[in-house]
Amino acid sequence: MKKLWGGRFQKTPEKWVDEFGASIHFDKTLVKEDIAGSLAHASMLEKCGILTEAEAVKIKEGL
């Protein structure tokens, strides 16, 4: 498969870059937990006054 960044860089990316991207199958198994954590984080930021209610709602709707 052709890499998205194939024409942007002059050197081949290091091996760890491919290995990092290869974890997507594992990431898919954690998507629900990741979203739940992000929802909780947005709520906390709102309660602390860092986000407005409208900002928190936008973030939560996006998730």
- Residue 44, token pair as written in the block: 């906390």
pLDDT in tens, the chain (63 residues): 566 666 677 777 788 877 877 778 778 888 999 999 999 999 999 999 999 999 999 999 999
Number of domains in the chain: 1
Task: Let me know if residue 24 belongs to a domain.
Answer: no
Task: Let me know if residue 51 belongs to a domain.
Answer: yes
Supply the pLDDT for residue 5: 61
Task: Let me know if residue 39 belongs to a domain.
Answer: yes
Instruction: Report which residue type is found at 16.
Output: W
- Residue 55, token pair as written in the block: 């900002």
Task: Let me know if residue 57 belongs to a domain.
Answer: yes
* Pair 56, 44: CB distance under 8 Å: no
Supply the pLDDT for residue 13: 74
pTM, rounded to two decimals: 0.64
Supply the pLDDT for residue 27: 81
The full DSSP string for the chain is ---TTTTT-SSPPPHHHHHHHTTHHHHHHTHHHHHHHHHHHHHHHHHTTSS-HHHHHHHHHH-
Show the domain range for 58.
32-63
